[in-house]
Structure 1
């Protein structure tokens, strides 16, 4: 969906169709933003924060208005395959978009991002069907473009026949060149699919390949763990969460959009005072909100503005940081400082960054909050297409075998 360090590598599993939950292990990697900023030392980052704070302690650096899709902070990825025999691709499973695309063997020699990643070659697939319709997806100031093709897509042994997808021949800027993923597999609704291409999960639904038209995410944000989590197709696994799932109806069948009642920052600040819309997005690492509200939140938790929209927090302050509570359907979903502060280690030094970022999403899609992996990592999340709802329950640690 919209553009901090983790990757899902899907390990192919031999499974039967329509016989239960299909499990896709997730693995970790750095985000694009983290990779691009790694050229700076922590001392330089801290100096930038202090300089920004001295110049103006209230506003953050200028933040551009962007579309919802922005993969700078995407963290979790997995491996799918396309074609016969299978050609593997690392993809971002993104509930904030609906199209599947991967780099094409036909990309330009000048497209650095394309040549740094796996490329689909239709000539090597016996199940390829030509389409050729041109497509273009806008990302910030540039656009990703190419053409539509059709082939068999395989997810952990589950074959999705006749799936249309994009072969990208042009990828803009440094974002995709620095990304560890090859492409994106969108898991949002058909309404936002470019060129009305049927999303992969909708093709799965039409073919009745799963016992339930549900998928769920367990994300492990423990930086010391080598396990990234798991994507489950066809249901939810109670071994990953405690208590009962709390469901909210989808308010607009485009993104996985729900109603949020308020956001409480300790006992001192209330945001989203009259209610607001929120999107649950596995393609965004952070929790994102409107600029004026995120600025107020960052001030309330004592965060200093850094470069590229990030905020620095003194790691010693984590135990005393306020609880931030999200009121969803009358139930409070709490995040502590340990939940919403990210610890980044480099050369024996640790820096702590706020898990919140400002971004103004213009109408008609916005304004919106985005509940990304900082939230999903604390709360196991179920996406239910049968009942058109999203479910949350507190996550618990479980090793993915």
Structure 2
């Protein structure tokens, strides 16, 4: 079935939803061969406390490590609750899940929300349209109760997709954005902002511990920081521009020589991205330094040389954060892939890198909305 540029009307038994639909060009790109989605100082009003494991103010929500590619958690929407697996994403702001009325092939492979099965559902006629690195969705904005474990957001706005591009191979149903509010996307209040507003979390902060190799053990925590998940002290970096999780990065080096970000650059700490993404020239330089050769859309290295490759060191706020070759090279089906990928550069944009799971599995990360800063420390 094709959606034409007409007004669609969907009758939901006792509820009626008017859904304006316009024809949309596909933005799908070729996914990586291994089905990866590569998809980002002010005065402090309070002092963030670093708490013990038994602190009852911290809300812990388990995440599942999917093949060292994504970390996924369950949420529930509606009354009675309908369960979904979502990607907790600091690189975006919106929450969305598939609608039962979605016609895209990917929707048939994932759990879909049934509006009329929820007594707390409220519809709108507002279009929801958002794009990620190589995928996009379109649908409409609705309201319902959303639960993240014991956290409850009442009358939470979120998107229900009617059209999805590029989500056929992902292991999750939807995305839960933990970025700053972005009125240009839907105008909807992000779920974390609603949780803070409704008093569901004790402090406006959340943190990620992303395990490597193990399927279980990862966690996103809300309302505080547990010292048991990291070593040493947290190093705090102010966000470079309030409104997203970008920070200033000093340089990127190998063997003591700066190879990228020579005059400083921007970095987005993005739990929704698997790899390390940067501009084409510095990424190409790093590929040459690690002797990676192109094969299709990928770069591969000899698996026998991985143990001899140097770490890539990201220096942030004067602190070095080394990423060893065992992290920036991924072994799969007899090949060793480089986890450095090109990030398309926008017009007039300064050099910007995306530090995804490859980086965040090594470093415990704290996202402090109250102080507009990010804390980093080696993960245990």
Q: TM-score, normalised by structure 1?
A: 0.78
Instruction: After TM superposition, give the deviation of residue 188 of structure 1 in Å.
Output: 0.5
Q: Which residue of 2 aligns with 1:214?
A: 205
Instruction: After TM superposition, give the deviation of residue 150 of structure 1 in Å.
Output: 0.2
Q: Which residue of 2 aligns with 1:91?
A: 86
**8 Å Cα contact 1:192/1:254 also seen in 2:** no
Aligned residues: 332
Counterpart-to-counterpart distance in 2, 1:290 and 1:272:
10
Out of 121, 125, 150, the position equivalent to 1:132 is: 125
Q: Which residue of 2 aligns with 1:11?
A: none
Point out the more displaced range, 74-83 or 159-168. 74-83
Q: Which residue of 2 aligns with 1:102?
A: 97
Point out the more displaced range, 208-217 or 360-369. 360-369
Query: Normalized per residue, which structure has more strand?
Result: 2
Instruction: After TM superposition, give the deviation of residue 24 of structure 1 in Å.
Output: 1.3
Runs of 4+ in 1 over 6 A off after TM superposition: 2-7
Secondary structure in structure 1 of the residue aligned to 2:307: helix
Q: Which residue of 1 aligns with 2:160?
A: 167
Q: Which residue of 2 aligns with 1:27?
A: 64
**8 Å Cα contact 1:382/1:391 also seen in 2:** yes
Instruction: After TM superposition, give the deviation of residue 311 of structure 1 in Å.
Output: 1.7
Let me know the Cα RMSD of the aligned residues.
2.3
Q: Which residue of 2 aligns with 1:263?
A: 252
Q: CA, structure 1 residues 6+170, in 2 after alignment: closer, same or farther (shift >3 Å)?
A: closer
Query: Structure 1, residues 182-235: CA drift from partner, whole Å, max 9, x if none?
Result: 11111100036612110000101111211111111111122xx22261111112
Secondary structure in structure 2 of the residue aligned to 1:178: coil
Q: Which residue of 2 aligns with 1:390?
A: 374
Q: CA, structure 1 residues 246+20, in 2 after alignment: closer, same or farther (shift >3 Å)?
A: same
Unaligned runs of 5+ in 1: 8-17, 32-73, 397-401
TM alignment of 1:326-341, pairs within 5 A: 326-341=314-329
Q: CA, structure 1 residues 283+228, in 2 after alignment: closer, same or farther (shift >3 Å)?
A: farther
Unaligned runs of 5+ in 2: 1-28, 38-54
Counterpart-to-counterpart distance in 2, 1:26 and 1:185:
13
Query: Structure 1, residues 248-300: CA drift from partner, whole Å, max 9, x if none?
Result: 00112232000001101223443111000110000001111101000001111
Q: Which residue of 1 aligns with 2:189?
A: 198
Q: CA, structure 1 residues 298+140, in 2 after alignment: closer, same or farther (shift >3 Å)?
A: closer
Q: TM-score, normalised by structure 2?
A: 0.82
**8 Å Cα contact 1:5/1:29 also seen in 2:** no
Secondary structure in structure 2 of the residue aligned to 1:253: coil
TM alignment of 1:297-376, pairs within 5 A: 297-308=286-297, 310-344=298-332, 346=333, 350-363=334-347, 367-376=351-360
